[in-house]
Chains A and B, each alone.
Chain A
Amino acid sequence: MYAYDAYDHAIVNARVAEFRDQVERRMSGELTEEEFRPLRLMNGLYLQLHAYMLRVAIPYGTLSADQMRKLAHIARRYDKGYGHFTTRQNIQYNWPKLSETPDILQELADVEMHAIQTSGNVIRNVTTDQFAGATADEVADPRPYAELIRQWSSFHPEFSFLPRKFKIAITGAREDRAAIKWHDIGLVVKENDAGEIGFEVLAGGGMGRTPVIAKTVRDFLPVKDLLSYLEAMLRVYNEQGRRDNKYKARIKILVEAMGIEEYARQVEEEWVKIKHTPIDVPAEEVARIKAFFAPPPLAVLSEDVPEVDALADKNFIFKSWLHNNTGRHKVPGYVNVTISLKPHGGIPGDATDGQMDLVATLADTYSQSEIRVSHEQNLILPHVARKDLPLLWAELDAAGLGTPNAGLLTDIIACPGLDYCSLANTRSIPIAQTITERFDDMKRLMDIGPLKIKISGCINSCGHHHAGHIGILGVDRRGEENYQLLLGGSGAEDASKAAILGPGFDEHGIVDAVEKVVAVYLGEREDGEEFLAAYRRLGADVFKEAVYGTD
Chain B
Amino acid sequence: MAKKITGPQLVLANRLDDGRAVFLTAAGNWSNKVADAAVAANEEELSALMAIAQSAEVANLVVSVTPVAADTAGNTVAPAHIKFAMQARGPSVRSDLGYQVSPNWEQ
Take A97-B17, A99-B17 as given contacts and tell me if A49 and B87 are in contact as well, using a CB distance cutoff of 8 Å.
yes
Residues of A within 8 A of B87 (CB): 49-50
A50 touches B57 (CB 8 A): no
Measured between alpha carbons, how far is A52 from B16 in the docked complex, in Å? 9
Contacts of A98 in B (CB 8 A): 16-19
When distances are taken between beta carbons in the complex, the residues of chain B under 8 Å from A433 are 93
Chain B residues whose CB sits within 8 angstroms of the CB of A3 once the complex forms: none
- Check A424/B83 contact, CB under 8 A, given A98-B18, A99-B18: yes
Q: Is B25 part of the binding interface, using a Cβ–Cβ cutoff of 8 Å? A: no
Q: Are B93 and A97 in contact (CB under 8 A)?
A: no
- CB contacts (< 8 Å) of B14 on chain A: these are 47, 51
A-facing residues in B14-32 (Cβ within 8 Å):
14, 16-21
Distance between B22 CB and nearest chain A CB, rounded to angstroms: 11
CA A33 to CA B58, docked complex, whole Å: 9
Mark contacts of A87-109 with chain B using CB atoms, 8 A cut-off: 1 yes-contact digit, 0 otherwise: 00000001101110000000000
B2 within 8 A of A: no
> Any chain A CB within 8 A of the CB of B48?
no
- Measured CA separation A80–B93 after assembly (Å): 14
Interface residues on A, range: 20 to 34
* A76→B72 CA distance, assembly (Å): 38
The contact of B86 among A26, A29, A49, by CB within 8 Å, is A49
Q: Quick one: CB contact mask for A20-64 with B, threshold 8 Å, 1 for yes?
A: 000000111100010000000000000111111000000000000
Q: A99-B17, A418-B86, A479-B82 given as contacts; is B64 within 8 A of A47 (CB)?
A: yes
Q: How many A-B contacts if CB must be within 8 Å? A: 71
Q: How large is the interface on B (under 10, 10 to 19, 20 to 34, 35 or more residues)?
A: 20 to 34
Q: For B80, list chain A residues within 8 Å (CB).
A: 479
* Residue contact B21 to A50, C-beta cutoff 8 Å: yes
Q: Is the CB of A50 within 8 A of B93?
A: no
Residue of chain B at shortest CB distance from A346: B93
Query: Measured between alpha carbons, how far is A481 from B87 in the docked complex, in Å?
Result: 16
Residue A347 lies at the interface, judged by CB distance under 8 Å to chain B: yes
- Name the residue on B nearest A420 (C-beta): B91
CB contact list, B61-107 vs A, under 8 A: 63-64, 80-83, 86-87, 90-94, 97-98
Produce 1/0 per residue, A402-417, CB < 8 A to B: 0000000000000000
Chain A residue numbers with a CB within 8 Å of B98 are 50
Q: How far is the CA of A294 from the CA of B90 in the complex (A)?
A: 46
Given contacts A97-B18, A98-B17, A99-B17, contact A50 B90 (CB under 8 A): yes
**Cβ-defined contact, B60 with A419, below 8 A:** no
Check: B59 CB closer than 8 A to any chain A CB: yes
A94 CB contacts on chain B under 8 angstroms: 91
Contact, CB under 8 Å: B18 / A419: no
Instruction: Spell out B's residues near A (CB within 8 Å).
Output: 14, 16-21, 57, 59-60, 63-64, 80-83, 86-87, 90-94, 97-98
A contacts, CB < 8 Å to B: 26-29, 33, 47-52, 80, 94-95, 97-99, 347, 418-420, 422, 424, 427, 429-430, 433, 479-481
The 8 nearest A-B residue pairs measured at CB: A52-B19, A419-B91, A51-B19, A97-B18, A29-B60, A429-B93, A33-B63, A49-B87
Q: A27-B16, A29-B60, A420-B91 are in contact. List 19 more A-B contacts (CB 8 A).
A: A26-B16, A26-B60, A27-B17, A27-B60, A28-B60, A33-B60, A47-B63, A48-B19, A80-B97, A94-B91, A97-B17, A347-B93, A418-B82, A418-B83, A419-B92, A422-B83, A429-B93, A430-B93, A479-B82
6 A–B contacts from the bound complex (CB under 8 Å)? A27-B16, A33-B63, A49-B83, A50-B21, A50-B91, A479-B81
